[in-house]
A and B are shown apart, each in its own frame.
Chain A
Amino acid sequence: MNFLLTGVNHKTAPVDVRERFAIPEKRLPEALQRFASYPGIDEGVIISTCNRVEFLARSTNGSADIHGFLSEFFQTRREEFESYLYDYSGQEAVHHVFRVASSLDSMIVGEPQILGQVKEAYATARALGTVHSHLDALLTRAFAVAKRVRTETAIASSAVSVASVAVDLAKKIFGTLQGKTVYLVGAGKMCELAARHLLAHGAGSIFVANRTYDRALKLAGKFNGQAIHFDQLYETADRADIVISSTGAPHFIFRQEHAQRFLQKRRNRPMFFIDIAVPRDIDPALNDMDGIFLYDIDDLQGVVSANLADRVEEARKAEAVIADEVQKFTARLQTLDVVPTIVSLQEHLETIRQAEIDRVRGRLGTLSAEQEVAIEVMTRGIINKIMHTPITTLKSAARDQEATTVVELVKKLFNLRDKSTTAGGNSGNTGHN
């Protein structure tokens, strides 16, 4: 359990500090290799995103000077950065890694990107060979924990951006966005963003009306949509299921009498108006009309903050899941420590068995197939019976303090070579079933 973790994140350090530690993708392999070969460090992973940089290591003897590495690598004096760092070791480090992967430590709790970023960091480290048995087990477990948090809590289920709230609302009105028409009034950035979101969720066609026709053309071109001259706005807007308005107009563009006409032409199929302009483009009275649903920017933001509050509630449940997983992982890891010894013990005895069979086989003459099998079964049986007690003892010793002593003793008794540093994560997994 000699895990060490040092890092900075958006809570402990302002962006000008974080950017000093950020490692660009190009330099990551070099940084990883130097990190993993730093004195006292056995395995290493670096997670570098815009909100955090984490240096995770497994040390040989439980201590390694990660601060020293940082000072060397970034060529900065320790005093300049040490107050921004956090350090965890052992179980605390495991806890932190699980929280990061499950997006509990994120700026927006529950955001999905972080898991992908951790997975990428893991893939890079694996490709470079800087993770094996222990960190491998830790990170794979972290991914499973993140998945469990996601399925057992509603932490990531609600929309927390204006654009995604708009999509959610549209789905509550129309069910599916498939084949729905989006009408952009004004060609601003926000309009574009919201439209992009709606299209990504299946919305069919796009119309763009703008006072400057050229800009309408340009934006419509981006989405494969249709540009509309602004003076034809009222004749065409009834085609829209969703209207997003963000013009700079000082007065309302859509009033009740317009909406009345749209509804008539649409035979009362509902319309969803999204007003992201300030000052507002759409008369709030539209919301009182049957079949018209109007949200302005404050309404959308209101839903966003309500959803965020929900996530805080869900995060509390997630913390319990993580505490539970840290417990389980710690217990499992202790078994992991004795696995290489068990494996080499098994291999050692198997070699002896094979050698003895080869030696005697010639003297036995021709044997029937059943006799061959009987020899196999008998010799294997002897070995398994002999091995049974040592393996159980090793496994149970793993949970106690005496693990190292027992491991050393077994190695000495059977004259086993030390394989614990070369055993991969795969052979490690065989031990706990």
Chain B
Amino acid sequence: MALVWLWVAVCLYGLGLAYSLALLANRGERIARVAIPAVSLGLVFHFVSLVEFIVHEQLTPASIEYSESLLAFALMVLFMIVRVRYKTTSHGMFVFPLAFFLTFASIIARRPLHLEDISPVFRSWWLFAHIALIFTGYAALFLSFGASLLYLLQASRLKSKNPGPREGLASRLPALEVLDEIGYRALLLGFPFMTLGLVMGAVVAQARFGSTYFTDPKVMLSLLMWAVYMVLLYTRWSSGWRGRRAAYLATFAFLAALVAWGANYFSYVHNVERVLRS
């Protein structure tokens, strides 16, 4: 059943994807009216599916299947928080496609790991906490990245002396200061999650591999990403960087996160299947 719910969620997220495309083409007021309720409903199904996976099928959140689906879930939850708090859906332009592809990928690349397959060392809440925290951090980072891109878009419109189309979805971009606030708050929220998540990971790895884990590429890249994250936060906090410079940094942080994520495939300590089954 859980998989069925996940499929339903993906289909509903697909409407979100349509919304993003419509936003790019600056049309489709009607799509917005359908897409936003649809993705909200999608989120509910997504939640149901996650709970079912964990409770009924005894899968661990560390399986690839969840990683992607969980990250998509974190993204959508953040989207909803921003939507309620700032009365805007523009950030869906970036969030929806990613949420859609991640959830879709989690279904396609099914490699379920059942609890009994996993080496007892990893059957702890520490691991689950590590994953949940890191993903919230990733999601917040991505949201911040999206907000700075929207900031650039809005700023360049204002500077071009043609404040954009007067109707259509793109005319309802939030104000610059609002976008800035979304970006900054997302970073502020994400950083402690990311930091704690890394610490948890370190604790688990220390227990399993001893101190050698530290030289693993995945670990190094994650630390690099964490450092960029911190720089991003610091420049914002100390000198109020925003606009182009903030967007460059956010892009860099996002790329670092992407690389750190990708490092799963050539990492020794973080090669999920091999490690967990060992």
Contacts and interface: CB of A to CB of B under 8 A. Distances in A.
Nearest to B238: A267
Contacts, number: 63
A393 interface: no
A171 B178 CA distance: 10
Interface in A155-210: 157-158, 168-169, 171-176
Contacts of A3: none
Interface in B87-144: none
B174 A175 contact: yes
Nearest to B235: A268
A290 B177 contact: no
B184 to A, nearest CB: 12
Contacts of A307: 166
B176 A268 contact: no
A270 B177 contact: yes
A154 B159 CA distance: 25
A268 B162 contact: no
A290 B174 contact: no
A287 interface: yes
B154 interface: yes
Interface stretch (A35-43, A128-136, A298-306, A352-360): A298-306
Interface residues of A, number: 28
B274 interface: no
B215 interface: no
B175 interface: yes
B207 interface: no
B33 interface: no
A295 interface: yes
B218 interface: no
Contacts of B176: 172-175, 270
Contacts of A267: 239-240
A268 B159 contact: no
B175 A174 contact: yes
Given A172-B175, A174-B176, A175-B178, A268 B240 contact: yes
Interface in B17-49: none
A306 B162 contact: yes
Contacts of B245: 290
Interface string B167-188: 1000000111110000000000
Contacts of A176: 175
A225 interface: no
Contacts of B199: none
Contacts of B174: 175
Given A293-B158, A303-B163, A175 B242 contact: no
B241 interface: yes
25 contacts: A154-B166, A154-B167, A157-B166, A158-B166, A169-B158, A171-B175, A172-B163, A172-B176, A173-B158, A173-B175, A175-B174, A176-B175, A266-B240, A267-B240, A268-B239, A268-B240, A269-B177, A270-B176, A270-B177, A290-B242, A291-B242, A291-B243, A302-B161, A306-B162, A310-B166
